[in-house]
Amino acid sequence: MTSTASPIRLIVPRRHGDDRGWFTEVYSEPTFAAEGIGCRFVQDNHSLSAPIFTLRGLHFQTPPRGQDKLVRCIRGRIFDVAVDVRKGSPTWGNWVGAELSAQNGHQLFIPIGFAHGFVTLEPDCEVTYKCSDTYVPDHDGGIRWDDPAIGIDWPIPAGFVPELSPKDAVQPLLANFDSPFAYDGRPLLPID
């Protein structure tokens, strides 16, 4: 039986505040499993992007070393994006995005089969994300961040070229990508 829930999930952890500040639980395996997210995380990553409009992505790791990711911004603000790259998906090439910030505390869960990327909306942004598998260079892949067939509406000023890594500047177009990811029956739906 397949779930009708969207594979991409916006997670809004509850913050418990008082005069000292606040406390939040950002991850609990039993709580996430009860919400239908049953992967196990084995690696945590942390990045600093100094210039505003630094763009990282669109990245994925191919099977059998695919990675589910749980992404959050712990300093500054980012626009975080996931693109459906599952072969046979009715939402192939569609994308969803959400603003994640240190202030709002939101997280984005991105399962295997989706390319992931983000652009910073402030200088000195720090992003952390959990992965369900370790990094394996031979399984590292990506898609062009500005692929017109995908049409991501990045919140970047018109005519401005974001800060990119050399690798991200030359990623292939989606049309040239032979996806090894299988469609699981769950179409990409808008996130709340």
Confidence grade of residue 2 (pLDDT, cut at 50, 70, 90): very low
* Encoded tokens for 129: 């994300």
27: annotated active-site residue: no
Say whether pLDDT at 1 is over 50.
Answer: no
pTM of the prediction?
A: 0.94
Q: Per residue in 21-67, pLDDT tens?
A: 999 999 999 999 998 899 999 999 999 999 999 999 999 999 999 99
With b for 16 or more beta-carbon neighbours within 10 A and e for fewer, the 34-69 pattern comes to eeebebebeeeeeeebeebbbbbbbbbbbeebbbbb
Q: Which helix (H) or strand (E) holds 149?
A: none
CATH topology of domain 10-15+22-176: Jelly Rolls (2.60.120)
* Encoded tokens for 190: 């808008």
Distance between CA 38 and CA 100 in Å, rounded?
A: 22
Q: What are phi and psi for residue 62, nearest 5 degrees?
A: -80, 155
Let me know: does 56 contact 50? Beta carbons within 8 Å: no
Q: Which of 27, 46, 59, 116 is catalytic?
A: 59
59: annotated active-site residue: yes
* Encoded tokens for 191: 């996130």
* Encoded tokens for 3: 């779930």
Say whether pLDDT at 4 is over 80.
Answer: no
Q: Which of 16, 46, 106, 129 is catalytic?
A: 129
